[in-house]
Structure 1
Amino acid sequence: MTWEQPSQAFQVFGLGTAARLVGRRNEGLREARRTLERTIARFDVEPSPGPTPLVFAGSAFDPSGPKTDTAWDAFGGWQVIVPAITLLRRGDEWAGWACAGDFPIEEHAAQIASGPETSPDELGASIARAVAEIQAGHYQKVVLAASRIVETGPMTPAEVLARLARAFPTCTIFSIRTGGLTWLGASPEPLAESRGGYVSLVSLAGSRRRGRDSAEDARLERELLDSEKERWEHRLVVEAITAEAQGLVDDLRVPAEPTIMKLANIQHLFTPIEGRLAPDRSLLELVERLHPTPAVGGWPRDAALSAIRRLEGMDRGWYAGPVGWVDAAGDGQFVVGLRTALLGRGFARLYAGAGIVSDSDPSAELDEIETKLDALRGVIAR
């Protein structure tokens, strides 16, 4: 497991395995949270103002979704991982912990499953059907995604991670390796963070590509800020996050207007949300409550998940699922598994999606998905 936030000079490296607990593919965050809580409770650590041991965790997007890609079988529905050795860097300061564990021989890279890629024509038709269902009042928003297989040649996961860190320094760069495959990504979207009882949440929804020069970039930024469709989609996410956080987070502070987050090839509407973790509540409860947000699933949640299962026709695996870590004090970070790839021998399967609402244009949404896929293609493809 690796975790890096280049712009904050923050890195975590997990080496070897003290414990790796894997859930069945029809299990999800609820089972992962219970296992993670039991694992943290077993730490025998004296209270300290300094860093404490970390437990890593991740889960699939939807335990009830299609399971047609056997490459995800080794990952299961969720994993809870305690490395044998954990190294953590904040700026120039390093910390480390060791647990009794194994250092297995490096697995040979496995082959990515040769399932079909998402056809643009089929996805465009699914987007059109989703728009019709939204206009008929079945739900308000759904996020539909696509996958592509690209050739990577002899590039190793470490090389890909280094490229991601250089290309997306403001994102969270992460990886989990199992069964000879590596799931990695450069997520722009924090899900929840807790430090010393204070909680940070983020709404990231609504997007435009970056401009070819500063003038075009500024025009696209203004277009994004002025778009009624994009602002409505963004507001839906803000309202859903604040509603789900009720009872778990006190003193929520939500800016009245979004700002812009600029990434290498795309810009998003961005609203940071802050508060205090309520007494006897945990970051893990908050992650379970929030996932999936309308930014990656849709709204209302159950109706949107049903639409994804019917219309998308793809095994998402861990794409758009939560991934992160928690320490013995209950602090930690989770992000949404976006801008991700499943890396195997010589090839990788890339994932990206777009939010569909009542006035979505299928061709524009397909362009947005390709823009997001291009962000990874440029780094991973040979």
Structure 2
Amino acid sequence: MHHKWYNATEVEVGSLNSKHHFYMETMEVSRLSALAFFAAGEKYKGKRYFWQNREKTFTLVGLGHAYTIENNAGQVRFDKVEQEWKQLTKNIVKEEDLQPILFGGFTFDPQNEVGEEWSTFPQSFFAVATFQLIIRDDKAYVSIHYITDEENSSKAFEQLRKERDHLIHAAQVKELKTYAKPTMTSYQEPYKEEYLRSIEQVTAHIKAGEAQKVVIARSLALQFEEEVASSQILSHVIHEQPESYLFGLEHEEMLFFGASPERLVKVEEGQAFSSCIAGSIRRGHTVEEDETLGWSLLNDVKNRGEHHYVVEMITETFEQNCMNVKVPKQPKLLKIRDIQHLYTPVEGILNEEATILQLVKNLHPTPALGGVPRKEAMDMIRRYEPMNRGLYAAPIGWVDADGNGEFAVAIRSAALLGNRAFLYAGGGIVEDSTPASEYEETLVKFRPMLRALGGKLSE
């Protein structure tokens, strides 16, 4: 097996509590399947992650935790994660392409007290993987990260090298499994009545001028014959949703996974990119029907209004944090497997003090997932939405030691816990929304994750 060696370095890093040594070693390996690498790390179950960008030019897999950053710090949680990450990486020599990466997410609303499936999940959860695979521009790199306060770690590191070679070998040699779909035994719509009633209540508030738009979501609870494995479900999502951001994050017993069309923010060498996605309609059965539906979406007052709120707010945030902000005048159509959306890209060049995590902090939640005005919309979500979104509709993604990174908005997503899964979907409520049409819209949005899980809703 051809190995090209890169940095084998040790740096002393100060964490927030004590002095740590951060050992890193990276090597280039022959191309391998990211999913096979993820599956080879079964013994790290509960401490793995998977990420692939929409363009499929960057894939990231993490096995094991070398270091975790988590907090329940409410509004300052973004700053706290950023400080701890900067502290941890401040002595790292910046080398092209071979940076340790921090991967994770922030929950949608730290003020939500509803427990259920999210009861053990912190408001911010990020990890540096012990074994990190990056596939970029058709090159694959595996890094070992070892962070310790022990003085002499050569023995432990040697052990990690053996483990790394074993993981690479397993990923390259073992037959890539074809996974069957799980067998769904039942599903329920928790709080369906409350959801339908909340649409009426929120519409009344909007008509009374208390807000312009509020996003209300609901969940679908599925039960399976047996426990569903993370790699089993990720294989279906990867196969079925190639045009989306694909992600899976394990935390204790949970796998949170999805295929989101929506970028929150990307930063690459000081340039920032976001995408405004709001307003949707289904795909047509024929090209003609698809074009007719797309045309009606582009010309629909309700959807264009909803889209405009998002563009306005994201543009404003970019103008506060960036120079040379560019925003097209008209939205385009973004077509993915089950649904088409109105889409407007926004870009700019970061100001001196702006960072990806500061942009995440300012952009979340966008009007596409929260509402307008933000504060009033969030108050109504807390009041009327009978569940905890957890990471649904929240920022999930990565940042490296150089400040590059990318976060998606975790929609078209679900939480898997053993033999149960919770799917999430929502829609923007405006003055003329009706419970029936909003309910129908969530059914379309459940479809991608439902299909991956082998389920069908009786139409």
Q: TM over 0.5, yes or no?
A: yes
| CA deviation map 1:213-239 (0-9, x unaligned) | 212111110110010110011011000
Q: Which residue of structure 2 aligns with residue 150 of structure 1?
A: 222
Q: Which residue of structure 2 aligns with residue 132 of structure 1?
A: 204
In structure 1, give the amino acid aligned to 2:104: A
SS at match of 1:50: coil
Q: 8 Å contact 2:280–2:340 — kept in the other structure?
A: yes
Q: Which residue of structure 2 aligns with residue 317 of structure 1?
A: 390
| CA deviation map 1:246-293 (0-9, x unaligned) | 321111100000001111111100000011011121111010000000
Q: Which residue of structure 2 aligns with residue 199 of structure 1?
A: 272
Distance in 2 of aligned mates of 1:9 and 1:250: 27
SS at match of 1:17: strand
SS at match of 2:65: coil
Per-residue deviation, 1:6: 6.2
Tell me which moved more, 160-169 or 220-229: 160-169
Per-residue deviation, 1:312: 1.1
Distance in 1 of aligned mates of 2:360 and 2:443: 29
Per-residue deviation, 1:317: 1.4
Distance in 1 of aligned mates of 2:75 and 2:53: 24
Say yes or no: does 1:5 pair with 2:60.
no
In structure 1, give the amino acid aligned to 2:445: K
| CA deviation map 1:168-219 (0-9, x unaligned) | 1111111111121111111111100000101101100000011122121111
Distance in 2 of aligned mates of 1:161 and 1:78: 23
Distance in 2 of aligned mates of 1:228 and 1:51: 47
Tell me which moved more, 361-370 or 290-299: 361-370
Q: 8 Å contact 1:66–1:314 — kept in the other structure?
A: no
In structure 1, give the amino acid aligned to 2:217: A
1:160 to 233, 244, 256: 233
Distance in 1 of aligned mates of 2:416 and 2:56: 26
Please report the RMSD computed on the Cα atoms of aligned residues, expressed in angstroms: 2.1
Q: Which residue of structure 2 aligns with residue 123 of structure 1?
A: 195
Q: 8 Å contact 1:294–1:301 — kept in the other structure?
A: yes
Query: Which structure's relative contact order is higher, taking Cα pairs within 8 Å and 6+ residues apart?
Result: 1
Shift >4 Å, 4+ stretches: none
Q: Which residue of structure 1 aligns with residue 146 of structure 2?
A: 100
In structure 2, give the amino acid aligned to 1:94: A
| CA deviation map 1:138-193 (0-9, x unaligned) | 01100000101113444311121111111111111111111211111111111000
In structure 2, give the amino acid aligned to 1:308: I
SS at match of 1:139: coil
| CA deviation map 1:33-54 (0-9, x unaligned) | 3223322332232233333111
Say yes or no: does 1:83 pair with 2:129.
yes
SS at match of 2:197: helix
In structure 1, give the amino acid aligned to 2:100: P
In structure 2, give the amino acid aligned to 1:77: Q
Q: 8 Å contact 2:191–2:386 — kept in the other structure?
A: no
Distance in 1 of aligned mates of 2:94 and 2:448: 43
In structure 2, give the amino acid aligned to 1:89: I
Distance in 1 of aligned mates of 2:248 and 2:123: 16
Distance in 2 of aligned mates of 1:246 and 1:214: 39
Q: 8 Å contact 2:219–2:423 — kept in the other structure?
A: yes
In structure 2, give the amino acid aligned to 1:296: L
1:302 to 362, 370, 375: 375
Label 1:245 to 1:187 Cα distance change in 2 as closer, same or farther (>3 A).
same
SS at match of 2:143: strand
Q: Which residue of structure 1 aligns with residue 81 of structure 2?
A: 35
Q: 8 Å contact 2:268–2:405 — kept in the other structure?
A: yes
Tell me which moved more, 262-271 or 237-246: 237-246
Q: 8 Å contact 2:78–2:358 — kept in the other structure?
A: no
In structure 1, give the amino acid aligned to 2:268: R
Tell me which moved more, 1-10 or 282-291: 1-10
In structure 2, give the amino acid aligned to 1:100: Y
Q: Which residue of structure 2 aligns with residue 216 of structure 1?
A: 289
Distance in 2 of aligned mates of 1:174 and 1:158: 12
TM-score (norm 2): 0.77
Q: Mark the runs of 5 or more structure 2 residues left unpaired by the alignment.
A: 1-48, 148-155, 161-186
Q: Which residue of structure 2 aligns with residue 19 of structure 1?
A: 67
In structure 2, give the amino acid aligned to 1:58: G
SS at match of 2:61: strand
Q: Which residue of structure 2 aligns with residue 59 of structure 1?
A: 106
Q: Which residue of structure 2 aligns with residue 106 of structure 1?
A: none
TM-score (norm 1): 0.92
Q: 8 Å contact 1:36–1:80 — kept in the other structure?
A: no
Task: Number of aligned residue pairs: give it.
Answer: 370
Q: 8 Å contact 2:94–2:401 — kept in the other structure?
A: no
In structure 1, give the amino acid aligned to 2:190: T
Q: Which residue of structure 1 aligns with residue 428 of structure 2?
A: 355
Tell me which moved more, 93-102 or 251-260: 93-102
2:449 to 370, 373, 376: 376
Say yes or no: does 1:364 pair with 2:437.
yes
Distance in 2 of aligned mates of 1:79 and 1:297: 21
Alignment of 1:145-294 (within 5 A): 145-152=217-224, 153-294=226-367
In structure 1, give the amino acid aligned to 2:126: V
Distance in 2 of aligned mates of 1:208 and 1:37: 41
Distance in 2 of aligned mates of 1:92 and 1:32: 32
Higher-Rg member (1/2): 2
Label 1:28 to 1:337 Cα distance change in 2 as closer, same or farther (>3 A).
farther
Q: Which residue of structure 1 aligns with residue 119 of structure 2?
A: 73
Q: 8 Å contact 1:134–1:358 — kept in the other structure?
A: yes
Distance in 1 of aligned mates of 2:414 and 2:393: 11
